[in-house]
Structure 1
Amino acid sequence: MNKPPRKLGRELAWIIGIKIVLLLIIWKALVAPYRVHVDAAAMADGMREAGMASQHLEKNNVR
């Protein structure tokens, strides 16, 4: 007995493959070029200031 053709499965695989390719193209065109550059020293200063403010609020029982 011959197996029925798996047309639906093949079509779904093609559609999913095409969607993945399109998402990768959109990512490369619109998201990847705009990477965020983080300055480590500036981040450390910001974290330190936030920590000091948090300790100050806890010390004075302000919430």
Structure 2
Amino acid sequence: MGPQSQRLGHVRARAHAASTDPLHFAVHSQILKRLGLGKMKLMSAPVHFNALSGFNLEVTEFVQP
């Protein structure tokens, strides 16, 4: 595995960690709500997000990337 491939793996790992961190999740949810979002389609595998209901956000569909 070359250096560029290792960096890409590191970036993906950090992105995953940030996306599962409750603090980051809350901040991102607040931003989406302030932008006027309510219902959304996500480009990801189906995942249940318990915290979204606290911000009146709803995932209506999952779209495969």
TM-score by length of 2: 0.32
TM-score by length of 1: 0.33
Could you say which structure has the higher helix fraction? 1
Could you say which structure has the higher strand fraction? 2
Between the two structures, name the one with larger relative contact order (CA 8 Å, sep ≥ 6): 2
